[in-house]
Amino acid sequence: MGGGAVVPKGAMGQLALLLGLISHYYQLMHLTSTQVFRRALFLGAALLGSAAGALAQGPAKQWDKGFGGSNSDVLYALQQTRDGGYILAGSSASPASGDKSQATAGALDYWVVKVDAQGLKQWERTLGGSGTDQLRALQQTSDGGYVLAGGSNSPVSGDKSQSSRGDYDFWVVKLDSLGAKQWDRTLGGLGYDLAWSVQQTFDGGYVLAGPIESGASGDKSEPTYSGGYTDGWVVKLDAQGTKQWDRTLGGNQPDELLTVRQTTDGGYITCGFSASGVSGTKSEPSRGSNDMWLVKLSGQGVKLWDRTYGGSSFDHAVTVEQASDGGFLLGGDTQSGIGGDKTETSRGARDYWVVRTDAQGVKLWDRTLGGPYIDYGMAARLTPDGGCLMAGYSISGAGGDKTEGQRGGSDYWLVKLSAQGQKQWDQTLGGTEQDVLYAAQQTRDGGFIVGGGAVSGQNGDKSQPSNGGVDYWIVKLGVVTAAQPPRTFTPPALYPNPAHTRLTVRLAPDAPPAALQLRLHDAKGRVRLTLPVAARQTDVPVELGPLPAGLYLLRVEGPGGYAATQRLVVE
């Protein structure tokens, strides 16, 4: 996801992204001396017992649910439905097994799961052809049904009624309220085309957007601007899925559009990222290697204006929403420091980046949010209080804007901002393996629903065992409590300290008489050891194993916000 296309190609590209992302960046990400120094400060700050100050406490978890078959299933989209339940959608490589009642039609299929307000499964549907079908977006429609969108290379087969146009095509599927297919449409040119966004429009039709490599061919009426790289493609359909118009947007380098939304004036706003300078439909120069790119279209798809936002490195916009004042909220991530349109220093190698604009795309403010390592921003959602929720996944430990340590290889990470962009709270959720968040939404009760793909089993914040390689994992959070002064707890005593291969952790008298969890973090904030602590256990023996010599942070967590830390030196 660095400088190249966000979308990995190949039959299992999306699953490879989830499973290989962590190790890939540990191997390839170059760390500056400043970033190494910042990481080293993590333990020092933790030893002083520093908390986030008098910020609001993050929302409490109400429940979580996992869904999957015996292979891998990754959730990319979710929405609260009008009956108070939730609709979940993503891509599945699983046969009929676990929570999945239907066999795969090809290598990868669309998989839709409907749950009630408590997360209990009501029904699920598998949709696909004999090839690879990757779902990226869904929405509940005005008739109570659902529209799905993604990419497909399947021929006419299974649920796919139209032939492939090229390598990959946009594939749109309309379901009724119980998940029965009503129609499907294939749209594309001769190249690689993948829909990342779909929305029902005011006239009952649909608008789609995504990255595309095709020139003028098939359903694509305009030539490519990038000369073989990617452009953005916006397509308008009527209520039955018939194409009304399409628009290609891009410059002479790789450009991708990832979200499109209809605006209050009947036009459209679309966002993504661009490596192009002034060329094609791009009117502003590049700031760095990749920039956030925002484009406003009329109701007929005519470009009205475009805006570029970025620093000196790689910056991506993943989502855009229109605010009540007519302006726009963009969310994504950044590898840039201060410079160009970016006003705040980087926290780690990659951070969340939120940009707020007026109705003409003029930047009002921007916020950088991150921990000491790598954080991927996947969704920025406006909230009724005028603020926003920024959500994604994190490979960072505690430090910077991140108040909690790492649960596993990667965790869900949520950050709530006020209307002025000030951080109100943050929340980390995960098990001991890789958990990657792709979707988030505030619910009508004032809480939040988040989801993605989880490798973790029954541990950490995950209450259910894994069904296969990767499962859908959704978490329902409650309403945020009012701001409270941070509570401090007595650090545990460690014997011996320094230690070699084993030690004893003696909990202080203010530890709650409940089951607790002990985690050992290294200097990068990574979890190196997780151990359950029985209720009322006072002395906890810990086998360290072959840990490298160095400084570590031992953290014991439990109910009621209990968290006590102590430093450990391993020799």
The Cα 326–Cα 406 span in angstroms is: 38
Whether 61 has a pLDDT exceeding 70, the answer reads yes
Percentage, residues of the chain above pLDDT 90: 80
Q: Yes or no: say if 540 and 531 are a contact pair by the CB < 8 Å rule.
A: yes
Pick the CATH number of 487-570 from 3.40.190.10, 2.60.120.20, 2.60.40.3080, 3.30.930.10: 2.60.40.3080
Average pLDDT, integer, range 243-268: 98
Q: What is the mean pLDDT of the chain?
A: 89
**pLDDT tens figures, 363-418:** 999 999 999 999 999 999 999 999 999 999 999 999 999 999 899 999 999 999 99
**pLDDT tens figures, 166-215:** 899 999 999 999 999 999 999 999 999 999 999 999 999 999 999 999 99
Residue ranges per structural domain of the chain: 82-216+234-262+269-436, 487-570
Whether 485 has a pLDDT exceeding 60, the answer reads no
Q: Yes or no: say if 61 and 93 are a contact pair by the CB < 8 Å rule.
A: no
- Give the list of residues 6+ apart from residue 115 with CB closer than 8 angstroms, or none: 65, 85, 86, 88, 121, 122, 474
Which pLDDT belongs to residue 530?
A: 86
217-221 contacts at long range (C-beta below 8 A, 24 or more positions apart)? 217/165, 217/166, 217/189, 217/190, 218/165, 218/166, 218/169, 218/187, 218/188, 218/189, 218/190, 219/165, 219/187, 219/188, 219/189, 219/243, 219/246, 220/188, 220/189, 220/193, 220/246, 220/248, 221/245, 221/246
Which pLDDT belongs to residue 293?
A: 98
**pLDDT tens figures, 321-359:** 999 999 999 999 999 999 999 999 999 999 999 999 999
Does the fold of domain 487-570 match that of domain 82-216+234-262+269-436? no
Which pLDDT belongs to residue 58?
A: 85
Pick the CATH number of 82-216+234-262+269-436 from 2.20.25, 2.130.10, 1.10.1660, 2.60.120: 2.130.10
Pairing of strands 109-115, 121-127: antiparallel
Average pLDDT, integer, range 485-499: 86
Which pLDDT belongs to residue 560?
A: 72
The Cα 504–Cα 183 span in angstroms is: 63
**Residue 563's pLDDT band (boundaries 50, 70, 90)?**
confident
What is the chain's alpha carbon radius of gyration, rounded to the nearest angstrom? Answer: 24
Q: Which residue, chain included where needed, has tokens 């980390």?
A: 428
Buried b (16+ CB within 10 A) or exposed e, 300-313: ebebeebbbbbbeb
Nearest 5°: phi and psi at 255? -140, 140
**Residue 486's pLDDT band (boundaries 50, 70, 90)?**
low
